[in-house]
A and B are shown apart, each in its own frame.
Chain A
Amino acid sequence: MSESQANQPVGWQLEAALLRRLFPFGFSVDAGGKLVAAGERWSSFAPQVAPGASFDALFVPLRPIGVTGLAGLRDVQGEAVLLKLAGRPGFELRGQFVGEGAVLHFVGGPWIANLGSLSALGLELRDFPPHDSRGDLLVLLQAQETSLADMRALANSLREKIAAQTQLEAQLQQIQKMELVGRFAGGMAHNFNNILMAIQGYAELSLTRLDASDPVHGWVQQICTATEHAASLTHGLLTMSRQNRLKLETLDLARELREVEKLVSPLLGKRVSLEVRMDPSLSSVHGDSSSLKQILMNLVLNARDAMPGGGTVTIAVQPATGPAPSGSGMLEFVEITVADTGVGMDASTKANIFEPFFTTKEVGKGVGLGLSTVYGLVQQLGGTISVESELGSGATFRIRLPHFAKPATTPAPAPATSAPTGARILLVDDELQVRKLLEALLRRDGYEVSTAANAEEALALLEAGERFELLLTDVLMPGLSGPELSERVDARHGALPTLFISGHTDNARLRRGELPPHQRFLAKPFTPADLARTLRELLAR
């Protein structure tokens, strides 16, 4: 105890002892700037803060602003003061100076803003006695932080749900759009294929009557070639609108990739290289071989076109897990990415990239069906497709196909044998041109043919007692459809071999080829050779 303290009245000494306990980080400074008393926590926390030490050597005032030492602090008694303790970075005291004669008492304590900094500063919660509400405030702030963490988690969860919902809505919109386009394309394809069928058939019939040296032979061949191109366009339309037939089976992935590589490599040019990477843990995927090839070829060729200055296309195949396209549950997928190092896409192009007839290519270099066809095929295979791209940073198309799906059963083709000649065929088609062409083709091949323009006429012929070895019928006709006609015929006359033909059909069973053994389906336009072979197969049963 200093001499000045000893001279204080008894009442003051008691108050000093009380202050030491009430403010364990408090202290008192005399007129000479020396500490004359220190709170009881200082001895263990910072022993240098003890009677006899110089205030200005220990503390730096931070607030009020502009006050630099004890002299200044004397003038701001009662105001909030912030002090920094020399040699203890981060440790600050907040309180006020209360004067008593020449002695100044600092009443206050450590100033911290969160519980987490207690340990780092060498403090404990008990350093904030019950009368000091800062301890409670720290707990309150921590509770607030906990609540904020909850709110952040909640906001993130909502954001994810909204994003998923938006994605689902966009997918639904796309599906609806594609269905609309599909219905339109299907209708167009039906009529167009009937016309193509007639052009192609008559052109091929004409070829049989023309000598190869005849200049007209070459012209008619050109008609056949043009018809094939037109047919591939309608096929593209149907594929894009998911109306074509699939042959689902378990595919050897490595083999499929090798074949794609073989097919596209010659088309890439010298400046574009193709890399194929496949995760060795994958061996198969469930799908349709020609669809898969078409998907990959379209994407690779699209990538090539996006790299006019050359670059690398990378096909990578790896396993992946993700939400099912239906949105419920998780599924295992085969993930195929096709990435290029090309010009990339802006947001607007990316948003429209799968739209039918959307193209960024010059007129004549593409009709804008490639990627919408890919989209349709992927959907048809039960998968999903997305694209990641930024302008100048290339593009990556990501396809996910279901890994474990059961292969659909397809009827085994009957062995091709020679045709029984003279078989009687009932030909039903509402399109006069097609009917006449088919009649001519059939008669040329030695069949006896009766024709009907619709199902009702055909049934009347059967009712009249005519007997046939085969029914060849269009699928979509006014009145009864081809399959309905076939049902009635089978019910009355047993399982009559039947060949369905169509330029377009909504009948999923026909599209998937899920037919009983005595029935077949041929998509228009088909060649006379296709027709002859299929008829032989059916009649040989």
Chain B
Amino acid sequence: MYGLINKAVEGLVRQRFGDAMWHRIRSGANLPDEPFLSMEQYPDETTYALVGSATKELGASSEDILKEFGRFWMTYTAELGYGELLRSSGRTLPEFLKNLDALHTRVQMAMNHLRPPSFAVTDETADSLVLHYHSERAGLAPLVIGILEALQERFDVNIEIRHERRTEPRPHDVFRLRWRARSAA
């Protein structure tokens, strides 16, 4: 994974739990006290080791940590200067989700070793849709849930998320989303 992801994990820990906790988590993951480089590639194991160490130090499940990371990811990338990219990827929740693959294609121009996930939207109605999430990496569905939760703020909606794992026609995660405008709530 690109260093950007590990930097975001670091940013999340430092912001929520302080510098001392970051050093404990980093040390627990057997990583040197060196800054991550956003555009450098790191083995996936580095990120998994960080999440593993965070579960021990924070006493939280990896699912909770990934969800929290997903929520943080939207803010973090916006702060890094990709806010415009996110903003311009859709004015509504369905538009944004349908543009995710296009967004990743754009980003791949800059990060040509990126192995992004793929998203597809089906069964769309005025207030619901089914989001299909395919990834080469296992176990990251909670991260998607975190991102979807963060999108509630962006689009001013409350989203009800039902997650299921499908194996046919090929293994992937399915998120059934139903939303309601917050102003209507």
Give A residues with C-beta under 8 Å from B.
114-116, 118-119, 124-126, 130, 135-136, 139-140, 142-147, 149-150, 153-154, 157
CB distance from A328 to the nearest CB of B (A): 13
Q: Is the CB of A125 within 8 A of B35?
A: no
| Docked complex Cα distance between A124 and B90 (Å) | 9
Pick from B38, B84, B102, B107: contact of A150, CB under 8 Å: B38
Q: Is the CB of B81 within 8 A of A126?
A: no
| Docked complex Cα distance between A427 and B87 (Å) | 93
Pick from B38, B82, B85, B107: contact of A147, CB under 8 Å: B38
Q: Is the CB of B109 within 8 A of A146?
A: no
CB distance from A331 to the nearest CB of B (A): 16
16 additional A-B pairs beyond A130-B102, A139-B109, A147-B39, beta carbons within 8 Å, are A116-B84, A118-B84, A118-B88, A119-B87, A124-B87, A139-B106, A139-B107, A139-B110, A140-B110, A143-B38, A146-B4, A147-B37, A150-B37, A153-B35, A154-B35, A154-B37
Pick from A125, A143, A146: contact of B84, CB under 8 Å: A125
Q: Is the CB of A146 within 8 A of B80?
A: yes
CB distance from B95 to the nearest CB of A (A): 10
| Docked complex Cα distance between A483 and B4 (Å) | 65
Q: Tell me whether B120 is interfacial, beta carbon within 8 Å.
A: no
Given the contacts A136-B109, A139-B107, A140-B109, A150 and B39 also touching, CB distance less than 8 Å = yes
Q: Tell me whether B89 is interfacial, beta carbon within 8 Å.
A: yes
Q: Is the CB of B38 within 8 A of A146?
A: yes
- Measured between beta carbons, the chain B residues less than 8 angstroms from A150 are 3, 35, 37-39
Give B residues with C-beta under 8 Å from A.
3-4, 35, 37-39, 80-82, 84-85, 87-89, 102, 106-107, 109-111
Q: Is the CB of B82 within 8 A of A115?
A: yes
Interface centre among A116, A126, A145 (most CB of B within 10 A): A126
- Measured between beta carbons, the chain B residues less than 8 angstroms from A147 are 37-39
- Measured between beta carbons, the chain B residues less than 8 angstroms from A126 are 88
Given the contacts A125-B88, A150-B35, A157-B35, A116 and B106 also touching, CB distance less than 8 Å = no
Pick from A119, A125, A146, A153: contact of B81, CB under 8 Å: A146
| Docked complex Cα distance between A356 and B34 (Å) | 41
| Docked complex Cα distance between A132 and B3 (Å) | 29
| Docked complex Cα distance between A155 and B37 (Å) | 12
CB distance from B26 to the nearest CB of A (A): 15
The 9 A-B pairs at the shortest CB distance, nearest first, are namely A125-B88, A143-B110, A124-B88, A136-B109, A115-B84, A118-B84, A140-B110, A147-B39, A146-B38
Pick from B82, B87, B89, B106: contact of A136, CB under 8 Å: B106
| Docked complex Cα distance between A145 and B106 (Å) | 16
- Measured between beta carbons, the chain A residues less than 8 angstroms from B38 are 143, 146-147, 149-150
Interface centre among A118, A125, A126, A135 (most CB of B within 10 A): A125
Q: Is the CB of A125 within 8 A of B85?
A: yes
| Docked complex Cα distance between A154 and B81 (Å) | 19
In the complex, what residue of chain B is closest to A157 when comparing beta carbons?
Answer: B35
CB distance from B105 to the nearest CB of A (A): 8
Given the contacts A140-B110, A146-B4, A115 and B85 also touching, CB distance less than 8 Å = yes
CB distance from B155 to the nearest CB of A (A): 16
Interface centre among B4, B87, B110 (most CB of A within 10 A): B110
Q: Is the CB of B110 within 8 A of A142?
A: yes
- Measured between beta carbons, the chain A residues less than 8 angstroms from B84 are 115-116, 118-119, 125
Pick from A119, A143, A145: contact of B111, CB under 8 Å: A143
| Docked complex Cα distance between A183 and B75 (Å) | 61
Given the contacts A150-B37, A154-B35, A116 and B81 also touching, CB distance less than 8 Å = yes
Interface centre among B35, B81, B89 (most CB of A within 10 A): B81
- Measured between beta carbons, the chain A residues less than 8 angstroms from B3 are 150
